[in-house]
Chains A and B, each alone.
Chain A
Amino acid sequence: MADKNKSHYITAKELRRIAKENINATKAFEKRKKRKNVESEYVTQMKDPANIVEFEDLHTYFYTDAGVVKAVNGVSFSIPAGSTVGVVGESGCGKSVTSLSLMQLVQGPTGQIVSGSIRFRTKAFRRDEKGNKIPVYEMTEENGELVVKKDAKGKPVHKKNELGGNLYETDEKVYDIAKMPTEAMRSIRGREISMIFQEPMTSLNPVFTIGNQLNEVAFLHIEGISKQDAKARSIEMLKLVGIADPEGVYKKYPHELSGGMRQRVMIAMSLLCNPRLIIADEPTTALDVTIQAQILDLLRDIKGKINGSIMLITHDLGVVAEMADFVVVMYAGKIIEMGTAEDIFDNPLHPYTIGLQKSKPTVDGEVESLYCIPGFVPNPIDMPDYCYFRDRCEKCKKECAGEYPRLVKVSDTHSVSCYLYKEGNAND
């Protein structure tokens, strides 16, 4: 029996109106994704040249049948080159959607990057007038003149890059991923940014061998790589992630491997093209503690070897404390606190961060009863216009009924979005 007093009840008329609005809104976004040859529209500049990624006021919405869900609602942070940034929060807080937006993998047409920008420093191919890539050829000296080397069939020989593929002329450019069409994104996705997913059981294809799946990545992203080179590269990567018998694993199917081994294969796959940024989306949640320790150790080790950055998404505060240099705490689609790992763990400011840390039992501490944050996360469809945490907060003040608090800098590295704190002052 439908009950009109229930908050989640929607009339048929209302449903039709929402559906119509959604179609209109998403059509425009889908059209924008299909543009061609519009590079000038998405080339930008970094605010700080030391960063590799900068999120600025990112909004990613889901146009569902029940209304618009603002999964990511104004998120701004940056990932400095060579560092690990941990994004923590409970399920549904938008941490995964943030990373999917960076990869342009948000499931359309429901999910759309609505506004904001994601600036990413990347290696972009130089193009000629026709939009083709400009190759670099091997040169030889003939009769005292430098000429392009030709092979037996008279075709010019490509110079090889460090991965064994053809070398093209490239530029260092900054792209705004939020505005890029899908076609252009393909040159970045997998090659410059790669992702390790949560479920190693479901993210490998069960009907292909590990070697087959690794080689596929190489063939797709490293143009002109030979079969032998691809195999050598795959086996080298399997060796790098600490698999004892890489040739054996190369021939195996995913079901023959354990969870930890599969996650290693996933990491090997993500490293194949020497990415600048690895997004690890809950890489150890499905694994046991002992295997988790192995994988975290491996990730730390690898970051040093490839000289890249890691964006680590997790709900486990212990994992973040161990891995991350910078921590971003998210709640209901917004950043509520961010800073260095020391800032967040030694001096947590936001009541939610404090509550989250108190509610986790520790192995060395002993408490009679755990702290629990009262109440629930608000309904994502009708978010209140005051602070989202107000109804669960114990330190609520009069100002909290006003508009959503801005992110204030309490120190050079540490910012928090709460009315309890003022600019440059971390002690209330």
Chain B
Amino acid sequence: MIDEKEILLEVKNLKKYFVVDTTFFGKPTKYLKAVDDVSFRLEKGKTLGIVGESGCGKTTMGRTVLRLYDVTDGEVWFKGQEVSKIPEREFNKLRPNMQMIFQDPYASLSPRMTVGEIIGEAALEHKLVDKANYREYVLGVMKMCGLQPHYFDRYPHEFSGGQRQRICIARALALKPELVICDEPVSALDVSIQAQIINMLKELQKQLGLTYVFISHDLSVVKHISDEVGVMYLGSMVEYGSKERIFANTLHPYTKALFSAVPVPNPHVKMNRVILKGDIPSPVNPPQGCKFHTRCEHCMEVCKTVAPQYKEVESGHFCACHLYD
């Protein structure tokens, strides 16, 4: 699959294990496999939506791609450079190109810095702007994100959740990034504010040609904003493909259950729901074979012993399930 389009981000067999138990001498004996073999490639200007239940490793994946966590195994290619192996000092030069928007706008802003300082600090640090033009530069970014100029000297506690999230977005965009990883940017917000932020993110993408990795547990939001969708379960990607394909032709039983669980705002629709039994198993000792077999309604004998291959079922539509062998 060679595209003439520019691939901005490519992730190959990414793994991130956390050590939970060691021997007396510090040799790790037990791992929490937060991200276990995830691969995808993302074109410039597109949006990849990552969905899954809490604890499935979607946030860890986002952070590992940005090298906020060290990679255990696998490769992350960004603009033709392998970011997981280059030295820290060189990587710091790449950092402005990859930014992150965090989930909780109440916890991710320093309460002791003014809005202007929060947004401008990193731009100054990376020498994108000098001290003389600093104020104009920050005001420009603020205007782009729908923040009034007189907010410049205010502190975060004076703002509502939606405004704070705008500040977080402005902070990320002040570095003129190409890739923005949005880690549940709207899940802490009200419905009407959610719509404002989502519209703004889409608008900015069109204006600045941004590429997003949009992590969320809200399927309707992911469907609205993404071009491609990846579904994660217990650290692995179980289904991946373009939005149209995934929503029109859902393959993996987990994705089917996830889609049918979304409540529809229409009292006449009585869905025949696939309700999953039980909870997500512990990632410290995941089930043998297919990780989903404990909750799957199509579980076969083979699922309990052999882990399914992650492969292309139809063009551009990947799935890891024995039903499609």
| Interface residues of A, Cβ cutoff 8 Å to B | 90-91, 258-261, 288-294, 296-297, 315-322, 341-342, 345-346, 355-357, 359-364, 367, 369-373, 376
Contact call A289/B267, Cβ cutoff below 8 A: no
| Prevailing SS type, chain A contact patch | helix
Identify the closest chain A residue to B56 (Cβ).
A288
Contact call B192/A372, Cβ cutoff below 8 A: yes
Contact call B191/A356, Cβ cutoff below 8 A: yes
Q: Which of B43-58 contact A (CB under 8 A)?
A: 53-54
Partner of B262, one of A289, A356, A359: A289
Partner of A363, one of B220, B273, B275: B220
CB contact under 8 A between A290 and B264, given known A356-B192, A359-B191? no
CB contact under 8 A between A290 and B257, given known A258-B279, A361-B223? yes
Q: How many A-B residue pairs have CB under 8 A?
A: 115
Identify the closest chain A residue to B194 (Cβ).
A359
B232 at the interface (CB under 8 A from A): no
Contact call A289/B219, Cβ cutoff below 8 A: yes
Contact call B224/A289, Cβ cutoff below 8 A: no
Identify the closest chain B residue to A319 (Cβ).
B263
Contact call A322/B191, Cβ cutoff below 8 A: no
B31 at the interface (CB under 8 A from A): no
By a CB distance below 8 angstroms, the chain B residues around A342 are 267-268
B287 smallest CB distance to A (angstroms) = 16
Closest 4 CB pairs of A and B: A318-B263, A359-B195, A361-B224, A293-B261
B22 at the interface (CB under 8 A from A): no
Bound together, the chains give a CA A297 to CA B191 distance in angstroms of: 24
- Residue picked from A260, A289, A290, most chain B C-beta under 10 Å: A290
Contact call A362/B261, Cβ cutoff below 8 A: no
Identify the closest chain A residue to B221 (Cβ).
A361
Q: Which of B124-162 contact A (CB under 8 A)?
A: 160, 162
CB contact under 8 A between A290 and B53, given known A345-B266, A359-B191? yes
By a CB distance below 8 angstroms, the chain B residues around A317 are 191, 265
B8 at the interface (CB under 8 A from A): no
Other A-B contacts than A321-B266, A346-B267, 7 sampled, CB-CB below 8 A, are A91-B190, A345-B265, A361-B220, A367-B224, A370-B195, A371-B195, A376-B160
Q: Which of B28-46 contact A (CB under 8 A)?
A: none
Contact call A362/B264, Cβ cutoff below 8 A: yes
By a CB distance below 8 angstroms, the chain B residues around A367 are 224
By a CB distance below 8 angstroms, the chain A residues around B54 are 259, 288
Bound together, the chains give a CA A261 to CA B218 distance in angstroms of: 21
Bound together, the chains give a CA A80 to CA B240 distance in angstroms of: 47
B198 at the interface (CB under 8 A from A): yes
Identify the closest chain A residue to B295 (Cβ).
A290
Partner of B267, one of A345, A364, A370, A371: A345
Contact call A289/B261, Cβ cutoff below 8 A: yes
A65 smallest CB distance to B (angstroms) = 16
By a CB distance below 8 angstroms, the chain B residues around A91 are 190
By a CB distance below 8 angstroms, the chain B residues around A294 are 275-276
| Interface residues of B, Cβ cutoff 8 Å to A | 53-54, 160, 162, 190-196, 198-199, 202, 217-221, 223-224, 247, 257-269, 273, 275-276, 279-280
Contact call A315/B190, Cβ cutoff below 8 A: yes
Identify the closest chain B residue to A286 (Cβ).
B54
B158 smallest CB distance to A (angstroms) = 8
Contact call B262/A318, Cβ cutoff below 8 A: yes
Contact call B265/A290, Cβ cutoff below 8 A: no
By a CB distance below 8 angstroms, the chain A residues around B190 are 90-91, 315
By a CB distance below 8 angstroms, the chain B residues around A316 are 263
Contact call A364/B192, Cβ cutoff below 8 A: no
Bound together, the chains give a CA A82 to CA B311 distance in angstroms of: 51
Bound together, the chains give a CA A340 to CA B250 distance in angstroms of: 34
Bound together, the chains give a CA A32 to CA B258 distance in angstroms of: 51
By a CB distance below 8 angstroms, the chain B residues around A361 are 195, 198, 220-221, 223-224
Partner of B195, one of A260, A341, A372: A372
CB contact under 8 A between A363 and B262, given known A288-B53, A373-B192? yes
Identify the closest chain B residue to A89 (Cβ).
B190
By a CB distance below 8 angstroms, the chain B residues around A320 are 265
B279 smallest CB distance to A (angstroms) = 4
A180 smallest CB distance to B (angstroms) = 33
By a CB distance below 8 angstroms, the chain A residues around B160 are 376
Bound together, the chains give a CA A320 to CA B53 distance in angstroms of: 22
CB contact under 8 A between A260 and B279, given known A290-B261, A345-B265? yes
Identify the closest chain B residue to A284 (Cβ).
B263
By a CB distance below 8 angstroms, the chain A residues around B273 are 293, 297
Bound together, the chains give a CA A6 to CA B273 distance in angstroms of: 52
B234 smallest CB distance to A (angstroms) = 13
Bound together, the chains give a CA A167 to CA B219 distance in angstroms of: 51
By a CB distance below 8 angstroms, the chain A residues around B247 are 363
By a CB distance below 8 angstroms, the chain B residues around A370 are 195, 198-199, 224
A57 smallest CB distance to B (angstroms) = 27
Bound together, the chains give a CA A78 to CA B145 distance in angstroms of: 43
